[in-house]
A and B are shown apart, each in its own frame.
Chain A
Amino acid sequence: MKEKVLSLMVAGVFMLGLGSGVHAETLELLTWKGYAPKSLVEKFEKETGITVKTTFSNNEEMIAKLRATRGAGFDLAQPSQDRISSVQEKFNIYQPIDYTKIDATLIVPSMLEAVKKNTMVDGKSYGVPHVYGTSGLIVNKKVAPDAADYAALLDPKYEGRVSYRLKRPTLIAMAFAEGKDPFALYNDAEAYTALMESIGQKLIDAKGLVKTYWTNGDALLQSMRSGEVNVAMAWDNGGWKLNAENPDIDFIAPKSGALGWIDTFAIPAKAKNVDAAYKWINFMMQPENAAVFTNAEKYGTASAGAIEFYDEAVKANFQRSFSQADVDNIKWYPPVPAKLEAIEGKILDKVKAAQ
């Protein structure tokens, strides 16, 4: 009798599990905060009947999560284009994109080509461009009118009012501010280490000026709103969001070049619902949908034709912050070779530990 009850219970549990699997088709999306606006998720669910489950993350954690499961657990991820090829070579966590399933007319051709080239491993490409943007300075111009380059982050004038992330873009930006080109040293590990160590030392020397190393974008915006931070290195969209609330604060393309990134769609190796992933990509790249995203989040999109649907304010943002010279000067990240992360990681640890 006991066994019977037990086996019934076990069967019940299994049926519950199966039942929930059969009913709704789901898309497990591993993405950045803000990349799947609620209105678009609802529209997609209505059109396709597929439920979207989002997990918010960043480049490093995305890689770690997919590496832990060898590419299972998610149907679609959104790593930056420069962080795909070396990771794919080493850990084999993505599957090649079938570009025939993507409506190429929806995507800006030059971006699609660039991403295909940069995410290529053994003749196959692993990414589709989605969002692009830059890292530069967000400045409160009323308090810090002369902050025009990354060097302002090390300027004693702004003591206690400076904030940046303790991540690799900061090191790279500082190198550009010194007139060096870190991207040219990507394949010379020794020279790159030497350069990064000298940058690390600079950050340690200027540590007293820093309010805090920010990790959460919303928290940084809050500090800038309240005037606790006046000069920060951050993403362009944050500066534009603040500009809408307070015209004194704006994003500035630094003199030595804003750092340009493209976030992509990449399909994990063991994705369960690949069809839904392609559906989501094509859906997000539709001009009207891409414009909804850009109008809300202020990031640029790789969707061709979305610009027609942009709010005026969004168009104005870009023109205000980027002259043609600034656009030409954007430093686009080339693919990161393996092992550089370990070099940078140790230097960043040293900066954080320094008193």
Chain B
Amino acid sequence: MKTLAEAKSKLPLFIFLTPILLWLILLIVLPHLDLLRMSFRIENDYGDMVWSVNNYLEFFREPIYWLTFTRTALYAIIVTFLTLCISLPVAFYITKVAPPKFKGFLSLLLLMPFWVSELVRIYGWMILLRESGVVNHFLLRWGVLRQPVEMLYNDVAMTMGLVYTSMLFMVVPLLSVLDSLDDSLIEAAFDLGSSMITIVWKIIIPHAMPGIASGSIVVFMLSLGNYLTPNLMGGKNSLWFTEQIYNQFIASFNWNQGSAFGFLLLIISSLIIFVGLKLTKQKLSGVIQ
């Protein structure tokens, strides 16, 4: 009798858990296991598939692959840092400086660009920045430039596109941590004669650290895994690691190499985040709260 009652009380739990479990297992765990298996298979000279770690070794053997990865990771770190530099003042303004009744409105403004898809946003930037684009048109008309300048298809444009795309994901966690910062701490610091820089460095940043860390993780991962922005705005010089995975799958028909790259991306980016957390003395459990 007791067991029946127990089973009954657990039924709703199972009902609610099943979709999530199915989702996780069928759509995430199983495909990844298959990819993992695939990444350890290669085709030998006779056209048969055999087990091997060659796909992983290839990454370190061929400079173009690890150089592309290094480049991608470095740019993702730069993007994360720039996003932080822009988002911190924005978040501070919204939580502490702006009148309370505008807070919701300002957050909504931040959210607005995300109502359209990333592709549309990127094409918008392309229309603005291209040689025959809007910005060039006005610069020429106002006499700032004599010749139109190509502002697209370089690393600066790409970085800007990535910062723009990921800003929201930095601002939102910062808003919530800064909200809990007691204003009187800042007032007291001012009363005691400390400068703005000291306040930012000694009070605001230490307090916001969990938010900074979680925002940075999200922005870093999004930039590292981005495909559209580097491809469309970076143009001819911007081989991104994700594009290399795509090329392996689509252009070279080498799914095995592609899945090995996918796992390397997962492992190395997790390592970078781990190092980042250690350096800033944060705990993952504290950050994801």
Contact = CB atoms under 8 A, between A and B. Distances in A.
Interface of A: 2, 6, 60-61, 63-64, 67, 87, 160, 167, 207, 210-213, 215, 226-228, 341-342, 344-346, 348-350, 352-353, 355
B107 interface: no
B247 A345 contact: yes
A348 B251 contact: yes
Interface string B53-90: 00000000010100110000000000000000000000
Contacts of A352: 236, 239, 243
B153 A211 contact: yes
Given A211-B153, A228-B132, A346-B64, 11 more contacts: A2-B11, A63-B253, A167-B251, A213-B236, A226-B132, A228-B130, A341-B253, A342-B253, A344-B251, A345-B251, A352-B243
5 contacts: A64-B249, A226-B130, A341-B251, A342-B253, A346-B62
B244 interface: yes
B150 interface: yes
Given A228-B130, A228-B132, A212 B251 contact: no
B246 to A, nearest CB: 10
B172 to A, nearest CB: 33
B67 A345 contact: no
Nearest to B251: A345
B128 to A, nearest CB: 14
A245 to B, nearest CB: 15
B248 A345 contact: yes
For the complex of A and B, list the 7 residue pairs with the smallest distance between their C-beta atoms, beginning with the closest.
A345-B252, A226-B132, A212-B235, A353-B239, A342-B252, A345-B251, A352-B239
A6 B19 CA distance: 14
Given A345-B248, A349-B247, A355 B253 contact: no
Nearest to A225: B132
B244 A6 contact: no
Contacts of B243: 352
Contacts of B236: 207, 210-213, 352
A321 to B, nearest CB: 26
A87 B130 CA distance: 39
Contacts of A67: 253, 255
Contacts of A60: 250-251
Contacts of B254: 342, 345
A342 B243 CA distance: 15
Contacts of B248: 345
B237 interface: yes
A213 B237 CA distance: 9
A348 B236 CA distance: 12
A210 B235 CA distance: 10
B19 to A, nearest CB: 13
